[in-house]
Amino acid sequence: MSTIQRTAVITGATSDRGIGIGVARRYAQEGWAVVVLDLDGEKSAKVAAEIGNEFAVPAFGYEIDVTAEDSVAAAHAAVTAEVAAGNLPVVGALANIAGITSPVPFLETTLDIWNKVMAVNATGTYLVTKAFLPGMLEAGWGRIVNMSSVSAQRGGGVFGKVPYSSAKAAILGFTKALARELGTSGVTVNAVTPGAVDTNIRVGATPESEAALARDIPVGRTATTDEVAAVITFLSSADAAYLTGATFDINGGSHMH
Ligand SMILES: NC(=O)c1ccc[n+]([C@@H]2O[C@H](COP(=O)([O-])OP(=O)(O)OC[C@H]3O[C@@H](n4cnc5c(N)ncnc54)[C@H](O)[C@@H]3O)[C@@H](O)[C@H]2O)c1
């Protein structure tokens, strides 16, 4: 196992078949210490402990509601305390994975749905990045990877509708503008745009709808969570220093541009 030098913080990382847990596992497998942040603090701690045991890396898990500034501050303080106590190495990577979608057609979209989808995806990415960025700037090294979606690029067409595409597109603008602003700081900011990934987020998907989806994907299937995780951990590596402000498609060829 490689030497553990840095901690990766992953939001939205406790959903059983989710991308976040796959990302946390992959960071650990590659020798990073990990911090698992999700709505349920107990589950976050449990998932972190399992990952820490399996890959023999330091791992902590805490509650976070990425839409609430005080909750983000509390999670950040908990991580900072473990770093200060020497239980975690300095935070080197942040993967903003927490997200929700909505399949509701536009005219049936309530303001509540719009606000929730924007809050978790876009505001959450803003708040968590703002909390963890100062430490990375202080260290002169950092990797931020934001979870967008092919829905931002092609106007939905997978599952999420207008609020989801809008929120995921906001993440692309956020990523580019922050990457530009951080310039020579040593901190890179990138976004990933997966197509359909085999997780529980697409509630209501049927075997028929999944088969129809696969027919539109040149590779002929949805992505595995590990295929998404592999790109995120590469973007977090030392080798990825010259990649910033970029969008990385992980869609089996379903959207080429
Ligand atoms: N599955 C796909 O096809 C697909 C494709 C492209 C992008 N994505 C994106 O990938 C990310 C993960 O998706 P998934 O398929 O693993 O979904 P998921 O529903 O399995 O996981 C989402 C996670 O985010 C957490 N979360 C929700 N609201 C939160 C909040 N306010 N604060 C903190 N955590 C919160 C949930 O508890 C859950 O663990 C999402 O941002 C999603 O939009 C998914």
pLDDT above 80 for 201: no
The mean predicted confidence, pLDDT, of the chain is 95
In this structure, the residues whose C-beta lies within 6 A of any atom of ligand 1 are 11-12, 14-15, 18-20, 38-39, 64-67, 97-101, 120, 147, 149, 194, 196-197, 199-202
Q: Is 31 left (phi over 0), alpha (psi -120 to 50) or beta?
A: left
CATH 3.40.190.10 fits 7-247, yes or no: no
4 vs 124: which has the higher pLDDT:
124
Q: What percent of the chain has pLDDT over 70?
A: 98
User: In the prediction, which pLDDT does 1 show?
Assistant: 39
Whole-angstrom distance, CA of residue 126 vs CA of residue 116: 14
90 vs 207: which has the higher pLDDT:
90
pLDDT above 90 for 211: no
Instruction: Give residue 146 CA to ligand 1 midpoint distance, Å.
Output: 12
Confidence of residue 2 (pLDDT cuts 50, 70, 90): very low
Hey, how many other C-beta atoms are within 10 angstroms of the C-beta on 13? 31
The DSSP H or E segment spanning 61 is: strand 59-63
Q: What type of residue sits at position 231?
A: V
Whole-angstrom distance, CA of residue 193 vs CA of residue 101: 14
Sketch the domain layout of the chain as residue ranges: 7-247
Nearest by Cα to 124 from 188, 167, 162, 93: 167
pLDDT above 60 for 178: yes
- Phi–psi pair at 69, nearest 5 degrees: -60, -40
pLDDT above 50 for 128: yes
Assess contact for 257 and 153: CB atoms under 8 A: yes
The secondary structure of residue 139, as a DSSP letter, is H
